[in-house]
Amino acid sequence: MKCDLLYLVGQLGSGGLERQLYYLLQTINRKYHRPAVTVWNDCENDVYTPQIRALGVPVLSFPQTFSASTKLIAFRRLVRELQPAVAHSYSFYTNFAVHWATRDTQTVAVGSVRGEFIRAKKESGRWLGSLSARWPREQICNSFSALEDARRSRGYFVPRRLSIVRNGLDLDRFHRVPLPVNGRVCIVGVGSLFSVKRWDRLVRAALTLKQRGFNFLVRLVGDGPLRDSLRQQAQDMGVADCFEFMGNREDIPNLLAEATFLVHTSDSEGCPNVVMEAMACGRAVVATGVGDIPLLVENGKTGFVVPRSDEEALVTHIGTLISNQDLCHRMGNAGRIKAEQEFGLDRLVTETLNVYRAVGWKDLSKDCLQRRASDEP
């Protein structure tokens, strides 16, 4: 197997970073590049494994029975066998594995910072978090907030060089669709049902809105350990009739097409895909001002950005959009225009490859194109 770009990812489930890796592999010019993917934690629910293989990209994975040290040795052996020009860790906690595997080789090692730098270190564990924060020394952030978070960090365990490549979006899949004009106003929330997403805020907001006489339905899309407790919270607060818990869904464009607008209530984000997706579909967004959301959502133009602790502001802005179809339409149109200008996949690929070049990758495909151009009469 020939490979010039080798990606290491923690898993290939339905998360945002996995989707971004799929977009990168989908768009990269396969005439000049031969990517391959290694999965650190193999899982039968890795939904992107068959999709990436369908692109013709090899996907290798380590059995769950392998210890961390066995995986390190196996991945180091793989790097020496394939001799890729670049090895890119697409998950934060696999950063150190890429560094260790590429030592004493010609392979350029690149790491990733996704979301909050300090949170990523903490969630990876004391030692692995520290090691993955420092190595590889070249790391890509997917948001300006992650970049600034990492730059503000002090101490030994920080990257030497940080670059930014913001998330991209398939604008053909997430295309502008007319707002639904009949029936109950439908609000959609998309994300894992973990505490950091703070869907409890949306349940409380629904109670206040219902008490104020608004008629609406919230479709909560995603799964996680808080699904039962959120459902019980809605039941206890008397708003179960205002909620549909949809579980994990792959037809997000269809769900956005049926929605009037999106609400996002998270305490922590990097560059959230779903906010970009809603804007690309022509949907207004109400979201907490965390991560890069204030850069994605132009407050008052493409939606509303609210302080994460201001639940009254959340209620007010949701109520405004429920009662004002024209405003939803104007904000949705402005969001689509911004998506077309900033969210495209060509930018994602170009910026990623430019980072590889900046940190030492010798792009032979670029040399080939230059030679071909110079040979033409």
Q: Kindly report the three-state secondary structure assignment for every residue of the chain.
A: CCCCEEEEECCCCCCHHHHHHHHHHHHCCCCCCCEEEEECCCCCCCCHHHHHHHCCCCEEECCCCCCHHHHHHHHHHHHHHHCCCEEEECCHHHHHHHHHHHCCCCCEEEEEECCCHHHHHHHCCHHHHHHHHHCCCEEEECCHHHHHHHHHCCCCCCCCEEEECCCCCCCCCCCCCCCCCCCCEEEEEECCCCHHHCHHHHHHHHHHHHHCCCCEEEEEEECCCCHHHHHHHHHHCCCHHHEEEEECCCCHHHHHHHCCEEEECCCCCCCCHHHHHHHHCCCEEEEECCCCHHHHCCECCCEEEECCCCHHHHHHHHHHHHHCHHHHHHHHHHHHHHHHHHCCHHHHHHHHHHHHHHCCCCCHHHHHHHHHHHHCC
Q: What is the pLDDT at residue 364?
A: 67
Domain 185-342 listed as CATH 3.40.50.2000: yes
Q: What is the pLDDT at residue 366?
A: 56
Q: What is the pLDDT at residue 116?
A: 84
Q: Where are the domains of the chain?
A: 5-168+344-375, 185-342
Q: What is the pLDDT at residue 265?
A: 98
Q: What is the pLDDT at residue 71?
A: 97
- Quick: pLDDT tens for 266-316: 999 989 999 999 999 999 999 999 999 999 999 999 999 999 999 999 999
Residues in the chain predicted with pLDDT less than 50, given as ranges, are: 367-375, 377
User: Taking the domain 5-168+344-375, which CATH number applies?
Assistant: 3.40.50.2000
Please check whether the two domains, 5-168+344-375 and 185-342, share a CATH topology: yes
